[in-house]
Amino acid sequence: MTQIPLINFEDDPATVREAIIEACEDYGIFNLVNHPLANDINRDALSETTLFFTQSMAEKQAVVRTLDNPWGYYDRELTKQRRDRKEIFDFGPGFSIPWPAGRQHFRRTMELYSDRCRHLSLDLLDAFSQALGAESSALRNAFDPAHSSFTRLNYYPVNDALADTDAPAAGPLGISEHTDAGGLKVLQQGDVAGLQIYHDGWHDVSPVKGALTINIGDMLQVWSNDRFKAPLHRVRASSGSDRYSIVFFLNPAMDCVVTPLPSAINSRDKPHYRRLSWREFRELRAQGDYGDYGEEVQIKHYRTET
Ligand SMILES: O=C(O)CCC(=O)C(=O)O
Ligand SMILES: [Fe+2]
């Protein structure tokens, strides 16, 4: 088991910045302790997540997502053309959110939790900008005020509820290997292990008490001109205990065009990526989540010849 770096958010900003550089040049993922998300909110969000998924299938299907509205419950997401063995509930901006009826506390908790995650991720983004030699606000403008960030509640059940139905067969994993498409991700893992990263082989990223796990996505890899690596990761299918997690994806404004930051391009180097429209990239990646359309578009398709 590889131990991913641990960063103390209460250290002075220069120390945090150095730690981010070291962690993201090597792993692209780290655990963050002493972060501003109060522990009671963390706990509340996780227990509300558990309660949500323990509802009956009919209650969950009442808030199912549709082709016209990406927010809500879903249990047949595909990654790399295999059905992930998990259930999800997604919410974010731009469409009406099908909050479950009569569960005000669920809604209030989730709104508060995602708002805190958004503020924390924007603070981290400022540190990333400085780490890449740019002004602290250089990346924030791509995410604030307009953004396409969203929150995902994950449930990885031991028993596959769709095993004997006409749903596509489940793959062997909770979620197949992938990189996250956007800026960065704030993950609360609960206390059941399952997340793995690829770093000279697959390694468990076990939960650390009180820590949030942060990893960068494809867009930060592009902005950094490959100095920082978006980690390939997956989640094992649950065995023994059901697993719950909450993910906040910090994603750019839909109209954002992403290119490597000038300050991140070494004087002897050139941009490793061509201009990328986040809207186009996001939509092409999302198609692969809804159905089997052959090879999914990945960030490597935007590389320039080097
Ligand atoms: O549940 C987890 O630990 C990670 C989930 C994940 O990678 C994702 O939803 O993109
Ligand atoms: Fe992911």
Predicted confidence (pLDDT) per residue in 152-170, tens digit: 999 999 988 888 888 888 8
Using pLDDT thresholds of 50, 70 and 90, give the confidence band for residue 297: confident
- What pLDDT, on a 0 to 100 scale, did the predictor assign at position 288? 60
**What is the per-residue pLDDT across 243-259, written as a single tens digit (0 to 9) for each?**
999 999 999 999 999 99
Ordered DSSP codes for 197-216: EESSSEEE----TTPEEEEE
Q: What is the dihedral of CA 282, 283, 287, 290, to 10 degrees?
A: 80
**What is the per-residue pLDDT across 141-150, written as a single tens digit (0 to 9) for each?**
999 999 999 9
Phi-psi region of 84 (alpha: psi -120 to 50; beta: other; left: phi over 0): beta
- What pLDDT, on a 0 to 100 scale, did the predictor assign at position 165? 85
Query: Which atom in ligand 1 lies closest to the alpha carbon of residue 233?
Result: 7
Query: Which atom in ligand 1 lies closest to the alpha carbon of residue 86?
Result: 1
Look up the CATH number of domain 6-253: 2.60.120.330
Is the confidence at residue 289, as pLDDT, over 70? no
CA 167 to chain centroid, in Å, comes to: 25
Interface predicted TM-score (ipTM): 0.99
Q: In whole angstroms, what is the distance from residue 150 CA to residue 80 CA?
A: 21
**For all residues of the chain together, what is the average pLDDT?**
92
Ordered DSSP codes for 113-155: HHHHHHHHHHHHHHHHHHHTTS-TTTTGGGTSSS---EEEEEE
Query: Which atom in ligand 1 lies closest to the alpha carbon of residue 180?
Result: 10
Check if the beta carbon of residue 49 is closer than 8 Å to that of residue 91. Answer: no
Ligand 2 is an ion; residues with CB less than 5 A from it: 180
Using pLDDT thresholds of 50, 70 and 90, give the confidence band for residue 80: low
Ordered by start, the domain boundaries in the chain are 6-253
Structure tokens at 251: 């994603």
**What is the per-residue pLDDT across 195-230, written as a single tens digit (0 to 9) for each?**
999 999 999 999 999 999 999 999 999 999 999 999
Distance from the alpha carbon of residue 26 to the mean position of ligand 1, in angstroms = 20
Distance from the alpha carbon of residue 251 to the mean position of ligand 2, in angstroms = 13
Q: What backbone torsions phi and psi does residue 89 show, to the nearest 5 degrees? A: -135, 120
Q: Which residue from 4, 191, 245 has its CB within 8 A of the most atoms of ligand 1, so it is best to mutate?
A: 245
Q: In whole angstroms, what is the distance from residue 148 CA to residue 119 CA?
A: 14
Higher pLDDT, residue 221 or 240:
221
Nearest ligand to the CA of 153 is 1
Question: From the CB of 24, is ligand 1 less than 6 Å away?
Answer: no
- What pLDDT, on a 0 to 100 scale, did the predictor assign at position 286? 77
Is the confidence at residue 12, as pLDDT, over 90? yes
Share of the chain above pLDDT 90, in %: 81
Strand extents, DSSP E, 251-299: 257-258, 276-277
Query: Which atom in ligand 1 lies closest to the alpha carbon of residue 156?
Result: 1
Size of the chain, expressed as the number of residues it contains: 306
Check if the beta carbon of residue 199 is closer than 8 Å to that of residue 27. Answer: yes
- What pLDDT, on a 0 to 100 scale, did the predictor assign at position 82? 76
Average pLDDT over residues 80-104: 92
Q: In whole angstroms, what is the distance from residue 249 CA to residue 185 CA?
A: 5
Q: How buried is residue 120: exposed, middle or buried, by Cβ count under 10 Å (0-12/13-18/19+)? A: buried
Distance from the alpha carbon of residue 306 to the mean position of ligand 1, in angstroms = 32
Is the confidence at residue 104, as pLDDT, over 70? yes
Question: From the CB of 45, is ligand 1 less than 6 Å away?
Answer: no
Question: From the CB of 79, is ligand 1 less than 6 Å away?
Answer: no
Q: Would you tell me the crossing angle of helices 13-26 and 104-131 to the nearest 10 degrees?
A: 90
Using pLDDT thresholds of 50, 70 and 90, give the confidence band for residue 77: confident
CA 186 to chain centroid, in Å, comes to: 6
Higher pLDDT, residue 287 or 66:
66
Q: In whole angstroms, what is the distance from residue 137 CA to residue 151 CA?
A: 23
